[in-house]
């Protein structure tokens, strides 16, 4: 079997693009992947343009060998643009491989170790009574783990101290309302400094939160080493990691208690399984980042099915954010929750079909994450 075509499809869904990638072969089999570098899709498409030259005519059954070549063959190894492209290619190659062998991808990864994949529910209501009400509805639906909402989520200008002041008291109230058996966390979307994060943590009564997701950016593990001395709350980190080497210091120095790897950014199944194994050796469970579309969700479910050290898969919908109709039309067999779990299916490959007639309707639509500023006019992270 030989690769005959690699096509990128940026599709506007909801409020931004999903970058789908299709690999076709001379035997009629094809595979789908998705890239997670949202907002820089044209850079990833450019990387795929380079990789296409290397991959046409190659055997799609060898994703491990292809991964090495794509990561290393430009002399300048890796980088998040390239690994976002490699991720989509690697997922599509596994999809083809599963279809060729007549097995689901989780079987290629060692076989299932669980029958269903628990999901993490996220509330998008601002800190307040409605946030707690929605969290209670998640608990009633059977969710074990809930991600609460930070203050100032869409605020622009964005002031970190106001966000902390708005968030901290409602974390404590949520714990009181939801009781001791529910897992509670909050994602600060890397908007805080070291001092701001430390103050936020110290305003919470002990035992309020079970995880704090990405309070600061992750370029510097030393910052998290310092933060580790200032709070006992476990950290959930890693959604921006673009290789095992980026994950390395966080795993080995005890800085990530939950690994938030993103299969569409870290380098596909090939790289995700290596990071997962490394985490297993350190008793760190995966809590994968899953903010994209059904291809990412399906790929993450296969990963979760095969990895023993797994906590919850992010589920990015709430009653405030139902799937847009275009997504339902485009992916007729999207993974759907049954209660608080995703079923593990045995459809060959990743099990996703794409209604390709809907793909080429629109020109590429530019999207950039919101540019947030503080009141003094300076830039701050979204």
Binding residues vs Mg ion (CB under 5 A)? 187, 214
Backbone angles phi, psi at 21, to 5 degrees: -135, 135
For residue 168, the surrounding DSSP H or E stretch is helix 160-178
Q: Are 26 and 34 in contact (CB under 8 A)?
A: no
Rounded to a whole number of angstroms, the minimum distance from the CB of residue 223 to Mg ion is 17
Q: Would you say 109 or 264 has its CB closer to Mg ion?
A: 264
Q: For Mg ion, give the closer residue by CB, 106 or 260.
A: 260
Maximum Cα interatomic distance, the chain, rounded to a whole number of Å = 61
Q: Is the dihedral of CA 23, 80, 275, 191 positive or negative?
A: negative
Among residues 34 and 239, whose Cβ is nearest to Mg ion?
239
Cβ of residue 24: shortest distance to Mg ion, in angstroms? 34
Question: What length does the chain have?
Answer: 382
Q: How far is the CB of 188 from Mg ion (least distance, A)?
A: 8
Q: Which is nearer to Mg ion, 66 or 212 (CB)?
A: 212
Minimum CB separation from Mg ion for residue 2, in Å?
39
Q: Which residue is nearest to Mg ion (CB)?
A: 187
The Cα–Cα gap between 25 and 197 comes to 50
What is the nearest approach in angstroms of Mg ion to the Cβ of residue 291? 8
Distance CA 320, CA 123 (A): 8
CB 220 → Mg ion: shortest distance, Å?
18
Q: Tell me the C-alpha to C-alpha distance, in Å, between residue 146 and each of 14, 113, 135, 353.
A: 23, 23, 7, 30
Distance CA 382, CA 380 (A): 7
Element (H, E) at 21: strand 16-25
Give backbone dihedrals phi and psi of 349, rounded to 5 degrees, phi first: 75, -150
Q: Which element (helix H / strand E) includes 137?
A: helix 129-140
Distance separating alpha carbons of residues 257 and 301, to the nearest angstrom: 21
Cβ-contact 31, 348 below 8 angstroms: no
| Closer residue to Mg ion (CB): 48 or 125 | 125
Could you tell me the smallest distance in angstroms from the CB atom of residue 214 to Mg ion? 5
Output 25 or 123, the one with its CB closest to Mg ion.
123
The CB-of-189 to Mg ion minimum distance in angstroms stands at: 6
Of 71 and 235, the one with the shorter C-beta distance to Mg ion is 235
Structure tokens at 56: 């046409």
Token pair 């929750």 is found at 337
Of the pair 41, 214, the CB lying nearest Mg ion is at 214
Give 59 or 210: the residue with its C-beta nearer to Mg ion: 210
Asked whether 131 and 174 are in contact (CB, 8 A), the reply is: yes
Separation between Cα atoms, residue 259 and residue 276, nearest integer Å = 8
Shortest distance in whole angstroms from residue 369 CB to Mg ion: 13
- Which CB, 95 or 239, lies closer to Mg ion? 239
- Work out how close the CB of 260 gets to Mg ion at its nearest, in angstroms, rounded to a whole number: 7
- Which has the closest alpha carbon to 92: 270, 250, 280, 330? 270
């Amino acid at each position: 079997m030989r690769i005959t075509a690699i096509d990128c499809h940026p599709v506007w869904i909801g409020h931004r693009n999903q970058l789908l990638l299709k690999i076709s072969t001379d035997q009629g089999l094809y595979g789908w992947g998705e890239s997670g570098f949202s907002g820089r899709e044209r850079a990833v498409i450019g990387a795929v343009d380079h990789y296409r030259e290397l991959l046409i005519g190659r055997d799609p059954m060898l994703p491990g060998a292809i991964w090495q070549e794509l990561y290393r063959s430009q002399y300048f190894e890796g980088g998040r643009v390239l690994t976002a492209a490699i991720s989509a290619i690697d997922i599509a190659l596994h999809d083809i491989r599963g279809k060729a062998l007549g097995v689901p991808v989780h079987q290629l990864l060692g076989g299932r170790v669980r029958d269903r994949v628990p999901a993490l529910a996220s509330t998008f209501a601002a800190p307040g009574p409605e946030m707690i009400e929605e969290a209670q509805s998640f608990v009633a639906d059977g969710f074990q783990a809930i991600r609460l909402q930070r203050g100032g989520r869409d605020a622009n200008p964005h002031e970190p101290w106001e966000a902390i002041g708005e968030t901290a008291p409602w974390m404590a109230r949520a714990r009181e309302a939801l009781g001791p058996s529910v897992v509670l966390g909050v994602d600060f979307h890397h908007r805080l400094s070291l001092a701001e994060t430390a103050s936020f943590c110290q305003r919470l009564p002990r035992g309020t939160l079970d995880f704090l997701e990405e309070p600061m950016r992750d370029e510097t593990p030393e910052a998290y080493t310092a933060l580790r001395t200032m709070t006992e709350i476990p950290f959930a980190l890693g959604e921006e990691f673009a290789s095992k080497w980026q994950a390395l210091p966080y795993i080995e120095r005890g800085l990530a208690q939950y690994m938030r790897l993103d299969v569409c950014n870290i380098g596909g199944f090939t790289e995700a399984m290596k990071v997962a194994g490394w985490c297993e050796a350190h008793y760190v469970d995966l809590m994968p980042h899953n903010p994209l579309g059904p291809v990412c969700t399906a790929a993450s479910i296969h990963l979760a099915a095969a990895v023993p050290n797994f906590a919850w898969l992010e589920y990015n919908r709430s009653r405030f954010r139902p799937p847009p109709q275009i997504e339902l039309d485009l992916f007729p067999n999207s993974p759907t929750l049954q209660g608080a779990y995703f079923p593990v299916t045995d459809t060959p490959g990743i099990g996703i079909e794409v209604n390709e007639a809907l793909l080429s309707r629109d020109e590429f639509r530019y999207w950039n994450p919101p540019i947030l500023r503080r009141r003094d006019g300076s830039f701050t992270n979204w």
